[in-house]
């Protein structure tokens, strides 16, 4: 943020309103948005020339516009609807403005706000605060979007994109005092404390508008015309956000940290690798058993390619990572690769590493030849394993003066490795515990022969008093929806679902770092969070305890028990401090419950705990506020949903059945963002829940909610089975809603680009002639309609 002191008000008022010029909408290149009427009045005062109102605007554009000129730039000014405030309302105004004024090149948000003085910035009433990009952020952040990692500073996760260079360099005469400006300008009218008043609002609005006028005067007309239209930039941003993907470089860096110097050279020098690297459109598959070093080996290849001037600019890579929920799906991988592309690449070299799984192998063999496949047999990686063993043995201080003992350790591990780095890694913990030579010899003689046997031995050696917590920790790690923070895991282990208190802070581990001792050899700590060193080979060793149904039932009881133990009330901003595991529990307990509900007869105790949670109104309300179930980005509603709505949205048909059977819950009540329970279940795609609600009398054509009715909600979300079920139940296919842009199910399906649902709705009698003006229709012939074409959707 930057501040300007005591702005000079240069006011030019248009004297002759009777001769206002009428310009086309495309003549306006500057968009100016105000939040309050006071700001709107101030903006109009600073127009050098006022123009006639627009002759036409886009359908459903309800903005109030004033047109005029500032310097050499034609400007359109809009104000938020009366009584509305916040990012969602501002975004709606901006969107509608760009639909009506498609040639706008830059946007300004000009108005008033509060200032908090400090030693660095002596903010006073009437000062002007302007955003500037710094530290990788655009200069404006949304106050409620960010995250705090343990022992790390607060990290902003949502901010305004930085402005174009033409805006940053526009006011050289101002930047002599401060810094280049961004696109949010705020006059200070109070000190952002409890002593608020409106006395300074008018003056603050004038100073902000004066600054904005000076800014625009400093931009040459040709520079502004050279900027890309904001409407096109919005479309570009939509595509960028759609393909947003996780960063694979974090996995590469971790793999490089594990790399031992000199290892992996056999691959780089191999004929197959050299051919793959130089041939056009080449492919190479490296496959090997778990623990043989595929990840580290691939990082060696990536580093080699990064060091090559020819391959480095167009290098793409991705790591599937069990420890990161963002890196488990093919969709995320494709998005990551697309995002890294910098143009059309006609010469691609594709390197893939994996286990020799039948599904993967059979697929690759349909289009790759034998010369493009390399099995990481033990003899190929033996040199790398030998180098790793020698490095690790040298670090055992106890035997550094005994080279014969070091050779014994190295030889034993090398002979038993069978190409598995992971097996070698797991044995070092046992070796390091040996205090004498005879202990070491016995340990080396009894090393488990396989990785499965190694895992089984680790679990067998758990202390009996550690067993229950070790099992819970492994259940959490295997089935968690995201990596757990250390403080979250500590609280999770302190929960006792069968005790009266359930959770007592006094039962927390006094030294959290010792949590790895519960599962030594299987779990490790990083600076930010725990990651897994588990594989699917661990599950057979754990038997029933890591079975998905058993584990998720335990996790439901764990999360709900923790939530029921929260003191009431606790301020939302203090929950993370007092109850670190609360947000995770509130966000994911219902996900685990959806698995448990598929077999309710064997989980009576767990479901009884869930029922207790529904019945405890204070706790339920507190959790809804802690982790809003259905609030999309930009929605700041304060409504608290009912247990019925909650269970319907989460897809818990057994809970829905019990709530309707045992309570007086109104199946058609509206309380959430989506409206009724039926609308919530329809939008989320929970067919079983939809069927239960319909059996209990849910009205299929009930209006309300964000998408108007259940049919429209299911149509825009793309749930064909639910659309068909609702139509069979008597849903009105042509029912019109009050939604600002989605007036019917046909429009909803078209906007979601769901061709099969469009066809289904037409078969059920959707009237293609009852269409809104905001959607254009194209026809292949007189009878066959294509899908609606909007600014941001093209299909057909």
Q: Average model confidence (pLDDT) for the chain?
A: 78
In a domain, 655, yes or no: no
Query: Is the per-residue pLDDT at 99 higher than 90?
Result: no
Same domain, 149 and 54: yes
Torsional sign, CA 64, 65, 66, 71: positive
Contacts of 74 (CB under 8 A, 6+ apart): 23, 27, 28, 29, 30, 51, 67, 68
The predicted pLDDT at position 5 comes to 43
What is the CB neighbour count within 10 angstroms for residue 154? 9
User: For residue range 703-756, what is the model confidence (pLDDT) as tens digits?
Assistant: 988 888 999 999 999 999 999 999 999 999 998 876 546 778 998 898 888 999
Q: Which of 42-56, 331-345, 346-360 has the lowest mean pLDDT?
A: 331-345
Residues in the chain: 796
In a domain, 10, yes or no: yes
Distance of alpha carbon 384 from alpha carbon 410, whole angstroms: 13
What is the CB neighbour count within 10 angstroms for residue 251? 21
In a domain, 617, yes or no: yes
Query: Is the per-residue pLDDT at 582 higher than 80?
Result: yes
Q: Which of 271, 264, 276 is nearest to 301 (CA)?
A: 264
Residue 530: phi and psi, rounded to 5, are: -75, 140
The predicted pLDDT at position 738 comes to 66
Residue with the bigger pLDDT between 742 and 794: it is 742
Q: Which of 159, 161, 179 is nearest to 171 (CA)?
A: 179
What is the number of domains present in the chain? Answer: 4
Q: Grade residue 759 by pLDDT with cuts at 50, 70 and 90.
A: very high
Q: Which of 395, 407, 450, 403 is nearest to 427 (CA)?
A: 450
Own/partner pairs, 635-644, CB within 8 angstroms, 24+ separation = 635/88, 635/673, 636/86, 636/88, 637/673, 639/671, 639/672, 639/673, 640/671, 641/671, 641/672, 642/669, 642/671, 642/677, 643/614, 644/669, 644/677
Distance of alpha carbon 9 from alpha carbon 208, whole angstroms: 9
Tell me the mean pLDDT in the region 615-637: 70
In a domain, 781, yes or no: no
CA 771 to chain centre: 35
The whole model's pTM is what? 0.56
At 717 the three-state DSSP class reads helix
Tell me the mean pLDDT in the region 540-551: 68
Q: In the listed set 427, 447, 467, which residue is the last one of a domain according to the structure?
A: 447
Peptide bond into 569 cis (omega under 30): yes
The predicted pLDDT at position 710 comes to 94
Contacts of 674 (CB under 8 A, 6+ apart): 630, 649, 680, 683, 705, 706, 707, 713
Same domain, 95 and 189: yes
Q: Which of 459-468, 617-626, 648-657 has the lowest mean pLDDT?
A: 459-468
Q: Grade residue 796 by pLDDT with cuts at 50, 70 and 90.
A: very low
Residue with the bigger pLDDT between 194 and 785: it is 194
Same domain, 207 and 356: no
Query: Is the per-residue pLDDT at 147 higher than 60?
Result: no
Tell me the mean pLDDT in the region 498-514: 87
Q: Grade residue 697 by pLDDT with cuts at 50, 70 and 90.
A: very high
User: Quick one: which H or E segment has residue 604?
Assistant: helix 604-615
Answer yes or no: are the C-beta atoms of 713 and 723 closer than 8 Å: no
CATH number of the domain bearing residue 191:
3.40.50.1580
In a domain, 719, yes or no: no
Tell me the mean pLDDT in the region 7-31: 68
Same domain, 68 and 181: yes
Torsional sign, CA 722, 333, 477, 562: negative
In a domain, 164, yes or no: yes
At 256 the three-state DSSP class reads helix
Q: What angle separates helix 643-650 from helix 677-684, to the nearest 10 degrees?
A: 20
Same domain, 263 and 193: no
The predicted pLDDT at position 698 comes to 95
Radius of gyration of the chain from Cα atoms? 32
Same domain, 567 and 547: yes
Query: Is the per-residue pLDDT at 324 higher than 80?
Result: no
Same domain, 523 and 462: yes
CA 154 to chain centre: 17
What is the CB neighbour count within 10 angstroms for residue 476? 21
- CB-based burial label for 357 (10 Å; 0-12, 13-18, 19+): exposed
Query: Is the per-residue pLDDT at 66 higher than 90?
Result: yes
Q: In the listed set 206, 232, 258, which residue is the last one of a domain according to the structure?
A: 232
Answer yes or no: are the C-beta atoms of 712 and 752 closer than 8 Å: no
Query: Is the per-residue pLDDT at 103 higher than 50?
Result: yes
Highest mean pLDDT: which range of 89-93, 354-358, 417-421, 651-655: 651-655
Tell me the mean pLDDT in the region 215-235: 76
The predicted pLDDT at position 43 comes to 92
In a domain, 720, yes or no: no
The predicted pLDDT at position 498 comes to 84
Q: In the listed set 604, 625, 646, which residue is the last one of a domain according to the structure?
A: 625
The predicted pLDDT at position 192 comes to 61
The predicted pLDDT at position 530 comes to 31
Highest mean pLDDT: which range of 162-166, 641-645, 680-684: 680-684
The predicted pLDDT at position 679 comes to 95
Q: What angle separates helix 677-684 from helix 687-695, to the nearest 10 degrees?
A: 160
Q: For the chain, report the end-to-end CA distance as a whole number of angstroms.
A: 47
Answer yes or no: are the C-beta atoms of 78 and 23 closer than 8 Å: no
User: For residue range 455-500, what is the model confidence (pLDDT) as tens digits?
Assistant: 778 777 776 777 788 888 888 877 887 778 888 989 999 999 888 8
350-354, strands of its sheet edge to edge = 350-354, 283-287, 373-375
Q: Which of 108, 107, 145, 113 is nearest to 129 (CA)?
A: 113
Answer yes or no: are the C-beta atoms of 249 and 287 closer than 8 Å: no
Same domain, 439 and 462: no
Q: Grade residue 524 by pLDDT with cuts at 50, 70 and 90.
A: low
Give DSSP secondary structure letters for 190-241.
E-SSS---STTHHHHHHHHHHHHHHHHHTS-HHHHHTSPPHHHHHHHHHHHH
Answer yes or no: are the C-beta atoms of 107 and 183 closer than 8 Å: yes
Q: Grade residue 694 by pLDDT with cuts at 50, 70 and 90.
A: very high
Query: Is the per-residue pLDDT at 518 higher than 50?
Result: yes
Distance of alpha carbon 227 from alpha carbon 628, whole angstroms: 40
The predicted pLDDT at position 406 comes to 93
The predicted pLDDT at position 682 comes to 96
Domain coverage including residue 619: 448-625
User: Quick one: which H or E segment has residue 422?
Assistant: helix 421-432
Q: Grade residue 520 by pLDDT with cuts at 50, 70 and 90.
A: low
> To which residue do tokens 């030693």 refer?
119
The predicted pLDDT at position 393 comes to 93
Distance of alpha carbon 442 from alpha carbon 455, whole angstroms: 19
User: For residue range 630-641, what is the model confidence (pLDDT) as tens digits?
Assistant: 665 444 455 678
CA 273 to chain centre: 36
User: For residue range 411-451, what is the model confidence (pLDDT) as tens digits?
Assistant: 999 988 888 888 888 888 889 889 999 999 999 999 988 87
Enter the DSSP assignment of 19: G
Residue with the bigger pLDDT between 788 and 640: it is 640
Contacts of 382 (CB under 8 A, 6+ apart): 414, 417, 419
Q: Which of 70, 372, 355, 360 is nearest to 221 (CA)?
A: 70
Answer yes or no: are the C-beta atoms of 672 and 624 closer than 8 Å: no
Distance of alpha carbon 39 from alpha carbon 353, whole angstroms: 59
Same domain, 223 and 297: no
Same domain, 119 and 173: yes
Same domain, 166 and 177: yes
Q: What percent of the chain has pLDDT over 90?
A: 23
In a domain, 547, yes or no: yes
Tell me the mean pLDDT in the region 121-146: 60
Q: Which residues of 135-151 are buried (b: 16+ CB within 10 A; e: fewer)?
A: eebbbbeeeeeeeeeee
Same domain, 51 and 151: yes
Q: Grade residue 772 by pLDDT with cuts at 50, 70 and 90.
A: very low
Answer yes or no: are the C-beta atoms of 597 and 646 closer than 8 Å: no
Give DSSP secondary structure letters for 95-147.
HHHHHH-TT--EEEEEEEEE----SS----TT-EEE---BTTB-S-B-TT-EE
Contacts of 15 (CB under 8 A, 6+ apart): none
Answer yes or no: are the C-beta atoms of 714 and 683 closer than 8 Å: yes
Q: What percent of the chain has pLDDT over 70?
A: 76
Tell me the mean pLDDT in the region 664-684: 91
Query: Is the per-residue pLDDT at 404 higher than 90?
Result: yes
Q: Grade residue 785 by pLDDT with cuts at 50, 70 and 90.
A: very low
């Amino acid at each position: 943020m930057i501040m300007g002191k005591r702005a000079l008000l240069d006011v030019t008022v248009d004297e002759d309103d009777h001769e206002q010029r009428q310009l086309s909408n495309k003549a306006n290149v500057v968009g100016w948005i105000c939040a309050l009427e006071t700001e709107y009045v101030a903006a109009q005062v600073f127009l050098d020339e006022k123009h006639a109102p627009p002759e036409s605007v886009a359908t459903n554009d309800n903005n109030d516009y004033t047109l005029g000129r500032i310097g050499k730039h034609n400007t359109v000014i809009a104000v938020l609807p009366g009584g509305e405030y916040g990012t969602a309302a501002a975004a709606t105004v901006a969107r509608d403005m760009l639909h009506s004024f498609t040639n706008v090149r830059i946007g300004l948000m000009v108005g008033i706000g509060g200032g908090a003085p400090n030693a660095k910035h002596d903010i006073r009433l009437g000062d002007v605060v302007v955003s500037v990009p710094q530290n990788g952020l655009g200069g404006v952040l949304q106050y409620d979007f960010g995250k705090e990692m343990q022992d790390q500073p607060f990290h902003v996760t949502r901010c305004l994109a930085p402005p174009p260079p033409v805006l940053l360099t526009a006011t050289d005469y101002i930047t002599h005092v401060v810094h280049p400006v961004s696109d949010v300008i705020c006059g200070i009218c109070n000190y952002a404390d409890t002593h608020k008043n409106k006395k300074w609002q008018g003056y603050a609005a004038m100073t902000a508008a004066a600054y904005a006028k000076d800014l625009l005067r400093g931009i040459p007309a040709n520079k502004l015309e050279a900027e890309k239209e904001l409407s096109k930039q919005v479309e570009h941003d939509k595509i960028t956000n759609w393909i947003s993907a996780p960063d694979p470089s974090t996995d590469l860096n971790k793999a490089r940290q594990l790399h031992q110097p000199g290892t992996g050279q056999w691959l780089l020098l191999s004929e197959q690798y050299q051919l793959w690297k130089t041939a056009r459109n080449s492919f190479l598959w490296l496959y090997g058993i778990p623990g043989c070093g595929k990840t580290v080996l691939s990082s060696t290849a990536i580093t080699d390619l990064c060091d090559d001037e020819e391959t480095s600019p167009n290098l793409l890579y991705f790591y599937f990572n069990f420890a990161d929920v963002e890196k488990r799906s093919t969709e995320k991988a494709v998005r990551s690769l697309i995002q890294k592309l910098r143009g059309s690449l006609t010469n691609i070299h594709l390197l893939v590493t994996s286990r020799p799984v039948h599904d993967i192998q059979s697929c690759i063999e349909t289009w790759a030849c034998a010369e493009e496949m390399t099995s990481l047999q033990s003899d190929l990686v033996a040199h790398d394993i030998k180098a790793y063993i020698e490095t690790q043995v040298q670090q055992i201080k106890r035997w550094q003066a005994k080279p014969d003992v070091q050779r014994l350790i190295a030889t034993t591990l090398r002979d038993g490795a069978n190409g598995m780095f992971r097996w070698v890694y797991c044995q070092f913990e046992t070796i390091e515990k040996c205090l004498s030579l005879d202990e070491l010899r016995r340990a080396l003689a009894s090393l488990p022969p396989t990785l499965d046997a190694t895992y089984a031995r680790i679990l067998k050696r758990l202390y009996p008093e550690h067993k229950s917590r070790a099992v819970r920790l492994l259940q959490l790690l295997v089935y968690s929806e995201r990596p757990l923070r250390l403080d979250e895991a500590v609280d999770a282990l302190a929960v006792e679902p069968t005790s009266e208190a359930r959770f007592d802070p006094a039962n927390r581990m006094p030294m959290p770092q010792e949590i790895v001792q519960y599962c030594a050899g299987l779990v490790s700590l990083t600076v930010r969070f725990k990651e897994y060193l588990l594989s699917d080979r661990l599950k057979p060793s754990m038997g029933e305890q890591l079975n998905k149904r058993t584990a998720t039932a335990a996790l439901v009881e764990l999360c709900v028990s923790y939530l029921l133990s929260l003191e009431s009330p606790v301020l939302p901003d203090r929950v993370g401090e007092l109850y670190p595991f609360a947000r995770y529990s509130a966000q994911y307990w219902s996900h685990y419950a959806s698995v448990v509900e598929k077999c309710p007869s064997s989980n009576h105790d767990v479901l009884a705990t869930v029922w207790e949670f529904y019945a405890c109104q204070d706790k339920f309300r507190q959790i809804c506020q802690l982790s809003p179930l259905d609030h999309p980005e930009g929605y700041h509603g304060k409504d608290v949903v009912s247990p019925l709505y909650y269970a319907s949205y989460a897809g818990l048909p057994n809970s829905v059945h019990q709530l309707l059977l045992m309570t007086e819950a109104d199946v058609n009540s509206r309380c959430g963002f989506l409206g009724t329970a039926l609308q919530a279940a329809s939008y989320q795609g929970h067919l079983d829940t939809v069927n239960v609600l319909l059996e209990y009398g849910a009205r299929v054509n009930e209006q309300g909610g964000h998408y108007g009715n259940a049919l429209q909600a299911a149509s825009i979300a793309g749930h064909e089975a639910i659309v068909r079920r609702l139509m069979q139940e008597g849903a009105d296919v042509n029912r019109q809603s009050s939604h600002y842009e989605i007036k019917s199910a046909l429009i909803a399906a078209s906007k979601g680009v769901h061709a099969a649902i469009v066809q289904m709705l037409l078969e059920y009698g959707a009237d293609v002639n009852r269409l809104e003006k905001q959607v254009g229709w194209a026809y292949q012939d007189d009878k066959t309609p294509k899908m609606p074409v909007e600014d941001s959707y093209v299909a057909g």
